[in-house]
Amino acid sequence: MLKVDPINPGKEVIDEAVEVLREGGLVAFPTETVYGLGADSLNKDAVKRIYGVKGRPPDNPLILHISDLSELEMVARDVPPSIYELASKVWPGPVTFVLRKSDSVLPEVTAGLPTVAVRCPAHPVALALIKGLGRPIAAPSANLSGRPSPTTADHVIKDLLGRIEMILDGGDTFFGVESTIINLTTDPPVLLRPGPVGVEDLEKLANLRILVPAFAKGLEEAGIALSPGMKYRHYSPQTTLILVEIGQCLTQTAYLKYVKSLINEYIEKNFKVAVICSRETCPDYEKTVTLEIGSRNNLYEVAKNLFKKLREIDELRVDVAISESFEERGVGLAIMNRLRKASSKIISCVPTPTPTSSPP
């Protein structure tokens, strides 16, 4: 476990981590999205170990991380010029493209698929590692499969300590949710996973339409052919988590009233309840443990705290947790996708009738 300056990573630390990767070891490192669990992408045994230590299903492929757009041709082929143009606008950054894979990419990285997911991360530590190794790094999130992704080194320690060779502690990650993934091998391109960069923004940058299937919203399971990883349940705390969708509650007052009535039903049954709520609404809840996730007016703050709060639920030893919903625009789509996948039950808000006249 080594501390690393997230903005100006020291050469010594990076050299040591690169050495571990060269020898076929696994290194957890911070990226701007979540912590990654990295292996030398050309070392078959190291890549296979990633699946082992995470308990990751073998049909869920990894993302390849490059340090510069010029390295794209090492891993992908038949990349249209328009995609280079788009990549040059969003990289380095939290956007992953699925493209046709080049022959040099190991089948263990892509879980046997003819396509490969590629990203150039914007975190100085991640970039320094890839540059130091001189090859793409294969890295999924550095958590046990199914658990919330790690946004601090502490989360990585909880899940993987003793199973991997090195953890680089670069403090909190910047965005807190995993990259936006777009499949560019289909026409139109398809959003496979919403992330920090909103699909609306990508459409404008690329001047194209991107299909947003129901599974990308977390509303249904994806077929294996589309996106292998999306069919798995993710991010779930052990505690029962109920997500309350906005549904027909068009005002914040109606929504809050409904969530409160739901909480009361549990309290009456002597349940201990926790609620994931916004800075604006948390003060309104009584007799519950509140987990304040950020302001409704700053969805980046909500995204950054999301996985930390999901992990905290289990430490509270409550009987049930309830989460509020957030607006599905920009990074909000990523927040709602993760919350839907993390929850064991989804309830739609219906306005509760207010008594209009008092009895005689």
Write out the residues near ligand AMP by the rule CB under 6 A.
60-61, 63, 98, 110, 113, 115-117, 140-141, 178, 181, 192, 227-230
Q: Which does 72 bind (CB under 5 to 8 A by kind): Mg ion, ligand AMP, none?
A: none
Angle at alpha carbon of residue 325, lines to 323 and 326, rounded to 5°: 135
Smallest gap from Cβ 329 to Mg ion, in A, equals 24
Nearer to Mg ion, 151 or 278 (CB): 151
Nearer to Mg ion, 141 or 152 (CB): 141
Smallest gap from Cβ 337 to ligand AMP, in A, equals 11
Q: Which does 98 bind (CB under 5 to 8 A by kind): Mg ion, ligand AMP, none?
A: ligand AMP
How do strand 137-138 and strand 63-65 relate by DSSP bridges?
Answer: antiparallel
96 binds Mg ion (CB under 5 A): no
Dist CA 83 CA 22 (whole Å)? 31
Helix axes 299-315 and 331-342, enclosed angle (nearest 10)? 20
Q: Which does 110 bind (CB under 5 to 8 A by kind): ligand AMP, Mg ion, none?
A: ligand AMP
Smallest gap from Cβ 95 to ligand AMP, in A, equals 12
Nearer to ligand AMP, 27 or 246 (CB): 27
325 binds Mg ion (CB under 5 A): no
Instruction: Let me know: does 40 contact 24? Beta carbons within 8 Å.
Output: yes
Smallest gap from Cβ 25 to ligand AMP, in A, equals 19
For residue 341, what are its two tokens? 């996948």
Smallest gap from Cβ 140 to Mg ion, in A, equals 5
Q: Which does 181 bind (CB under 5 to 8 A by kind): ligand AMP, Mg ion, none?
A: ligand AMP
Pick the stretch among 141-149, 165-173, 207-215, 317-325 that binds Mg ion (CB under 5 A).
Answer: 141-149
31 binds Mg ion (CB under 5 A): no
Could you write out the DSSP letters of every residue in 116-184?
Answer: EEEE----HHHHHHHHHHTSPEE--BSS-TTSPPPSSHHHHHHHHTTTSSEEEE--S-SS-SPPEEEE-
Which of 279, 48, 26 is closest to 165 using CA atoms? 26
Instruction: Let me know: does 141 contact 37? Beta carbons within 8 Å.
Output: yes
Instruction: Let me know: does 91 contact 120? Beta carbons within 8 Å.
Output: yes
Q: Per-residue contact track with Mg ion, 248 to 267, x per CB under 5 A? A: --------------------
Name, in order, each residue with C-beta under 8 angstroms of 122's C-beta and a sequence gap of 6 or more. Answer: 31, 32, 91, 92, 93, 94
Nearer to ligand AMP, 182 or 277 (CB): 182
CB atoms within 10 A of CB 96: 26
Dist CA 177 CA 307 (whole Å)? 8
Q: Per-residue contact track with Mg ion, 111 to 130, x per CB under 5 A? A: --------------------
CB atoms within 10 A of CB 35: 30
141 binds Mg ion (CB under 5 A): yes
Smallest gap from Cβ 94 to Mg ion, in A, equals 14
Nearer to ligand AMP, 192 or 320 (CB): 192
Nearer to Mg ion, 96 or 343 (CB): 96
Name, in order, each residue with C-beta under 8 angstroms of 264's C-beta and a sequence gap of 6 or more. Answer: none
Locate tokens 């990549």: which residue?
A: 87
Dist CA 284 CA 313 (whole Å)? 19
Q: Which does 192 bind (CB under 5 to 8 A by kind): ligand AMP, Mg ion, none?
A: ligand AMP
Binding site for Mg ion (CB under 5 A): 140-141
